[in-house]
Amino acid sequence: MRCYRFKSLLLPALLIVLAMSTKSSKASTQTTLTTGTSSVVGGGTLNYAISSTPGSRLCGALPHQKTVNYTVVLYNNFSYTDTNGTTSQMNGGIQYVSVSGITADCSSPLPTSATQPLMLRVPNGLPISFTGSISGSNGSATLGAIVDTSKVLSILYATPGNLSSDSFTNTKTNGTVTTIGSSFTSGQSDAFSLGFLGSGTNVTVGASITTGQSNAFTETIANATSVSNASNTGTNGLNTINHSQDLFLIWLNPEVSLIGNTYSLQTQYQNGLAELPSVVEVTAGAMQSNNNATTVPLTILQRQFDPATGQNDLPGLASICADQSQYVNNCSQQGQCGCMPSDFAKILANDPLLNGNPTLNATTATNPLSIDTSGVAACSNPTPANSCRYVPVKESGSSVQMTTLLAGPECSGCDRPINSYSQTDNSSTTQTYSESHSETASYSAKGSLPFGLGSFTSTDTWTWTDTESTGAIDGTMNQIQYSLSSSTVDCSQEVLIYEDTTFHTYVTQQAPGNTSCP
């Protein structure tokens, strides 16, 4: 009876302890809610909600397993009141995690803590950089500025042969490294992709961690099998290289957010949301002056189709032209939507092979190295001290320049040979040259631009600075594909191969003195 009585007394006590333990467990996961306010550097006030939620994880191996406690502090529900008293709601949140104890071998991953400021966006497009804390106290906020501009992503150079083509492959290529100024560093390390130019094609825009430079980002093109520059001279055409047929890939809606001495890159905003990228392909000849007019196809000039909205509301090439009065509402092929050759001069300046006579055959062949600042001799075997926009592609493990064969049929009606090559720079020594390529573009800005912006822009020109380099970028070689063919009977000519060290595409030159492929 005494034993039974002891058991009967023990059971209620155990239930009380269990209940207290359950209540304590529930209390440990209870979220605490507060509100926060920050005066924004640059004007206005930022309000937000702050939540603090405790949690725990089992860490370590038995018999030394321990419980690690942590707290997740989340900032969200942001609203910004500007100096005029207008309040706008903004999307986004950022969390910080404080941990007590050793977290090695935890049974499940701990929540991640922010390592960079949160970039908020006011509906009119201006960015706000916000940084909170693991303590859940009020954070700091700074209002920035934005620059809307354009950028040449790549150039596919024309090839010799009236039935030849130059194209991207289905692998990664075109690792262009770009900066916006020596005094600015990248404020975002996340890469983002620009899907465009047909099924499967994308451009990935990385950040400083991909290049080892604190103020640089990298553009790479992958799976661009739909992007090709085919010779349009036809079966009766000449085999000469016509650089007026060089194909430009132009990104029309990049946006740079500038806060203090940091920047981030994204697409331009429309109705409070980031647009899909708008990228067009257009030949140099269409943008060049023809009786003081251009001949760009209307479908390229006009607004582009946006799959997200089902409307033509992405910018077209005419969005970069000075005269915006005719753009959108008064466009015609003859009127060119108000665009003039001067509007495209900055784009064409990215292709120095267009200078002078762009049509070259074996007699008038121009060595691309003659355009280089350091000259033919130095850039034939360049070192990092040289300034070389173009360099010869060498045979693997050799000092001999790579050549490929352009050939036609052996007789009228005979089969026409097609020599296809995938050219890479995997055998090139990875090195950066002393000169950078400056690309200028028109721009519009909102907000107060940071001090020092004038050091790399003029009053109406935005400047991108592209590094000249060869070899693999981020451990990945650059690769391009071209196909050489001609309808000219008995055409047989070696073609020399050069690399553009800015865009990592390839330039060809007909071998001087061989006139079998006129």
Residue 166: both structure tokens together: 């130059």
User: Within this chain, do residues 72 and 162 fall inside the same structural domain, yes or no?
Assistant: no
Would residue 515 count as lying in a domain?
no
Q: Does some domain include residue 1?
A: no
Question: Do 119 and 187 share a domain, yes or no?
Answer: no
- pTM above the 0.85 mark? no
The answer to whether residues 162 and 46 belong to one domain is no
Quote the domain boundaries for residue 40. Answer: 24-143
Closest C-alpha among 397, 420, 428, 419 to residue 169? 420
Boundary-marking domain end, from 143, 159, 178? 143
Q: Both 352 and 401 in a single domain?
A: yes
What is the reported pLDDT for 245? Answer: 92
**Averaged in consecutive runs of 10 residues, what is the pLDDT profile of the chain (518 residues)?**
40 39 46 96 96 92 88 97 93 93 83 90 86 95 91 90 80 71 66 58 62 71 71 70 91 87 82 80 93 93 84 89 84 91 94 80 79 92 92 83 90 88 66 84 82 50 84 62 89 91 88 87
Residue keyed to tokens 């994880």: 57
Query: Among the three residues 83, 113, 143, which one is the final residue of a domain in this structure?
Result: 143
Query: What confidence score (pLDDT) does residue 506 get?
Result: 86
How many structural domains does the chain have? 2
Q: What is the reported pLDDT for 19?
A: 38
Q: Are residues 175 and 259 in the same domain?
A: yes
Give yes or no: residues 292 and 153 share one domain.
yes
Note the pLDDT of residue 32.
95
Cα 260 to Cα 185, 267, 517: the distances in Å are 10, 20, 57
Residues 253 and 374 in one domain: yes
Rg (the chain; Cα; Å):
30
For residue 12, what pLDDT is reported? 45
Q: How far is CA 34 from CA 37, 48, 75, 381, in A?
A: 10, 9, 10, 65
Domain contains 346: yes
Do residues 165 and 126 both lie within one domain? no
Q: Is residue 4 part of a domain?
A: no
Q: Which of the listed residues 143, 170, 202 is the one where a domain comes to its end?
A: 143
- State how beta strands 140-143 and 32-41 pair: parallel
Same structural domain, 166 and 51: no
**Contact at 8 Å (CB) between 38 and 138?**
yes
Q: In Å, how far from its chain's centre is CA 240?
A: 34
